[in-house]
Structure 1
Amino acid sequence: MPGLPLLIIALFFLLGGIGHFISADFFIMAMPDYLPYHKELVLISGVFEVLGAIGLLVPKTRLLAGYGLIALILAVYPANINMALQPEKYHDISVFLLYLRLPMQLLLICFVWWAIAPERIQHKDENR
């Protein structure tokens, strides 16, 4: 049975991934103009969030899923920067929260890293 940190992070990404389909327009609006295929990228990132969440709950895929989610957080970081730089597009979100999201993404990476620590340590020990 996965521990509480894994369940929390899996639920977070599962809900976030589903949100990419339910509220695709919001996520599309966050996409930087220099990226093409906004809708497709939003849907793909939603798929990977859901897959990552499920992968965290399966012991054999947990490590790969954790690394994948960290990569995904880094990949979507430009959208978070874009949101902070264009607060006028997000009337329902305070400017403070738009900027707070930036360091929170880094904390989220740390949380995923910490949640998969047992698998990282086991993998390291197996490869010695």
Structure 2
Amino acid sequence: MLCAQRGLQSLLPGLWEFPGGKIEPGESARQAVEREIREELDCEVEVGDELTTTTHAYDFGDVTLTTFWCVLRSGAPRVTEHSEVRWLKPTELDTIEWAPADIPAVRAIVSAG
């Protein structure tokens, strides 16, 4: 699993998340994942099945997060906006501190084995 640590100047600094971002007008959630990965990590992914969709209430507002299974198609993830990226096995996902909105997806991945 590709995990990305939020930059120290961002909201939720230093916490980990699955890479992605906001959906822009006129694009689907899958298209947003492809674009965000290309922009933030300089690589290409194929977006697969949806894993889960959850909403988390932060003090700055509600975040709805849809997590997809993806496959790296070209390039190698490169840090541009995050502090760090790591490839982790599902059994290693509990070794880092996750952004609260990502925790349900982490649990779903761990449960799936």
More strand by share: 2
More helix by share: 1
Larger RCO (CA under 8 A, 6+ residues apart): 2
- Give me the TM-score of the superposition, normalised by structure 1: 0.27
- Give me the TM-score of the superposition, normalised by structure 2: 0.29
